[in-house]
Amino acid sequence: MKKSLPFILGLLTIAIDQLVKQWALGALGGGERIELLGSFLSLRLVFNSGAAFSLGNSMTWVITAIAAVVSVGLPVVIARSAQVPAIILGFVWGGAVGNLIDRLFREPGFPSGHVVDMIDYNGYFVGNVADIALVVGVVALLAYEFGRTPEKTQ
């Protein structure tokens, strides 16, 4: 069960991400904006052809290729990792796959689909559940790696 936990968390991340995206397409599809914390945090539907902060809009296929390599390669890394990093990497894998699904199956089509984003952070950027999993996973992995005591070799 311990080795399967990262994959369960990753699959749960993918499922939640895709369900929230489907909800957003229906609930926010008419251009609605739902304020959660005033303008600081709101919901609005955006289709992102690029990466984080809409960088690389003209290179969607490159981003798709990188996401595919990460999505296929990360399970191998997870299987070989110690328990704590593997659990963290499960979230990173889930986030990568969640956005890859959009790039493969959403308009304008394979492999240049646009990622569905809906969480607006005060107009600075708009993200989704997969993005949250990726960011939290990477930050947690960095904190884990920099916070642990190096093992002594004899």
Active site residue 131: yes
Q: Which pLDDT score is estimated for 145?
A: 87
Catalytic residue among 17, 102, 120, 131: 131
Active site residue 117: yes
Each residue's pLDDT tens digit, 1-53: 578 999 999 999 999 999 999 999 999 988 889 999 998 999 999 998 866 55
Asked if pLDDT for residue 97 goes beyond 80, the answer is yes
Mean pLDDT of the chain: 87
Alpha carbon distance 8, 28 (integer Å): 29
Q: Which pLDDT score is estimated for 89?
A: 94
User: Which whole number is the average pLDDT over 90-97?
Assistant: 95
